[in-house]
Amino acid sequence: MNDDRFETQIREAARDYHRPPETPREEMWAAIDAERRRRRSAPRIPGLSPAWRWGIGMAAVLVLGIAIGRWIRPGVGGGPATPSASAASRSRVDVAYHLAAAQYLSRTEILLAGFRADARTGDRPDAQFLAQARDLLSSTRLLLDSPASQDPQLKPLLEDLEVVLAQIALLPTSRDTADVEIINQGIDQRSVLTRLRTAIPVGSAPARTQGVL
């Protein structure tokens, strides 16, 4: 069978692919009308889309972690600390930053794993995805300005993540798939995902994606 015959057979068979029934026009209109009335009457908080709520939650975790860290830092807000008190405070500071950074790193890993998976199937990131990338970019800069960036392993990772997230956040300006490829090459060349996964403490991620890709 030649190509033309194949195409013809495919087209004929395809007509029955998920053949739709008659449009349930009145039922759908009733549902649309009811939903629009419900949305109009429901109190709305402007600007709080799911992506925004997610971002605000992330920022809150980071700010809380950083604030706790600064509050309990030795010598801040109190008199001279004894050596044993200083050690205990340092330990609490570490835990606070550790918590904030672990949350951030887990979210970033999920986002980057999703980005690579979508790139493999040729999907472009949607608006919500890009909003999450922008939120994570803000969180990255918060962390870079915090004592967490004094960690010699975390700082270069945060700097690389800042570059990658900024590239992803700027994607809407172009439809060219080459830019997605460039970002993925950057992720590979700098082993960003591997370093990210290594930096995440075991058991801290809500949904690990390692092994998916």
Partner 1 sequence: MDERELISRVRAGEPAAERALYDAHVDRVYRLAFRLAGDDELARDFTQETFIRAFDRLETFRGEARLSTWLHAVATTVALNGLRKVKRFRTRETALEAADGVAGSVRSAEPDLKIRLRDAIDALPRKYKAVVVMHDVEGYTHEEIAAALGVEVGTSKAQLSRARAKLRAALADFAGEWVS
The dihedral over CA atoms of 120, 123, 129, 130, expressed in degrees to the nearest 10, equals 100
Nearer to partner 1, 36 or 53 (CB): 36
- Per CB under 8 A, the list member of 8, 91, 174, 177 interacting with partner 1 is 177
Three-state secondary structure along 171-189? HHHCCCHHHHHHHHHHHHH
CB of 128 to partner 1, least distance (A): 8
Question: Contact at 8 Å (CB) between 118 and 110?
Answer: no
Q: What is the largest CA-CA distance in the chain?
A: 89
23 lines the binding site for partner 1 (CB under 8 A)? yes
- Per CB under 8 A, the list member of 8, 36, 78, 85 interacting with partner 1 is 36
124 lines the binding site for partner 1 (CB under 8 A)? yes
Nearer to partner 1, 3 or 150 (CB): 3
Q: For residues 164 and 54, give the distance between their C-alpha atoms in angstroms, rounded to a whole number.
A: 20
Distance of CA 63 to the CA centre of its chain: 17
> Hey, which residues between 39 and 78 contact partner 1 (CB under 8 A)?
39
Binding interface with partner 1 (CB under 8 A):
1, 6-7, 9-11, 13-18, 20-21, 23-25, 27-29, 31-32, 35-36, 39, 121-124, 126, 175, 177
